[in-house]
């Protein structure tokens, strides 16, 4: 498992180097398509989580769910790395707060209140103090937004170091993979989840479409 993940990320770094000298800020239709696919997979994967139904007893549901969960969240972080761009950190952070933090607290607070006081309309009941602790320090049900913002917040500083050398990126991904597999990391501030997904963000996409797009774009006429 560790070897397969390492090979995936090493290939990602190689193909990204081919892609990286393309103009920054140009919208890539292939990235948008993959984002749409990832979103559909996320909705489909969560649709199998139905109260009182054990999907392991439904073979085709279990197979589809297992397939989706082998890669769909990793794909989100790969795509986040592909479109990452920071020139002015202040403006960059403002944009991330508006796009990530505000929706996180709107939906997170709504879900927290429903779990605490909406016994008649939700399946799971959760005490208010536990909901607050999850919302502030562990991401809760919207952990993806929490983890995404944490990565976006500190990555510009990390990128200044990693961008100096391709092999630093390789080494950082390898180190994170080893830590993820071999060390029991705390879930406080979703640190364990950040370590799990950060290599995919750094590698910025082991995606065949990047490689093919680069070949077509720079092939001599």
pLDDT at 120: 65
pLDDT at 207: 41
pLDDT at 188: 93
pLDDT at 26: 58
Is the pLDDT assigned to residue 212 strictly greater than 50? no
Express each pLDDT in 25-75 by its tens digit. 556 777 788 888 888 888 887 776 655 666 767 788 888 888 888 888 888
pLDDT at 32: 82
Express each pLDDT in 161-201 by its tens digit. 887 777 788 888 889 989 999 999 999 999 999 999 999 99
Whether pTM exceeds 0.75: yes
Task: Give the number of domains in the chain.
Answer: 1
How far apart, in Å, are the Cα atoms of 72 and each of 39, 156, 214?
Answer: 9, 25, 24
pLDDT at 88: 92
pLDDT at 209: 39
Long-range interactions of 14-23: CB distance < 8 A, separation 24+: 15/205, 15/206, 15/207, 15/208, 15/210, 15/211, 15/214, 16/82, 16/203, 16/204, 16/205, 16/210, 17/166, 18/210, 18/211, 18/214, 19/205, 19/210, 19/211, 19/213, 19/214, 20/204, 22/214, 22/217
Express each pLDDT in 76-85 by its tens digit. 898 888 888 8
pLDDT at 56: 66
Helix, strand, coil shares, percent, the chain, to 5: 75, 0, 25
Range of the domain at 164: 2-218
Express each pLDDT in 110-145 by its tens digit. 989 988 887 766 667 888 999 999 999 999 889 999
pLDDT at 52: 60
For residues 151 and 204, which has the higher predicted lDDT (pLDDT)?
151
Please give the DSSP secondary-structure letter assigned to residue 141.
Answer: G
């Amino acid at each position: 498992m560790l070897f397969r993940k390492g090979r995936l990320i090493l290939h990602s770094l190689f193909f990204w180097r081919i892609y990286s000298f393309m103009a920054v800020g140009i919208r890539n239709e292939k990235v948008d398509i993959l984002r749409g696919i990832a979103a559909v997979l996320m909705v489909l994967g969560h649709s199998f989580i139905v109260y009182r139904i054990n999907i392991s007893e439904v073979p085709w549901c279990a197979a589809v769910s297992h397939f989706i969960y082998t890669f769909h969240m990793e794909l989100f972080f790969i795509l986040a790395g592909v479109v990452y761009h920071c020139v002015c950190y202040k403006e960059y952070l403002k944009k991330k707060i508006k796009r990530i933090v505000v929706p996180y607290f709107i939906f997170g607070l709504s879900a927290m209140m429903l779990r605490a006081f909406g016994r008649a309309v939700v399946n799971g009941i959760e005490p208010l103090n536990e909901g607050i602790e999850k919302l502030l320090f562990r991401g809760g049900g919207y952990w993806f937004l929490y983890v995404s913002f944490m990565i976006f917040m500190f990555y510009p500083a990390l990128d200044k170091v990693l961008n100096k050398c391709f092999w630093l990126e390789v080494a950082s991904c390898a180190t994170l993979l080893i830590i993820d597999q071999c060390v029991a990391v705390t879930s406080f501030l979703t640190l364990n989840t950040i370590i799990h997904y950060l290599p995919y963000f750094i590698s910025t996409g082991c995606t065949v479409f990047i490689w093919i797009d680069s070949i077509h774009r720079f092939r001599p006429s």
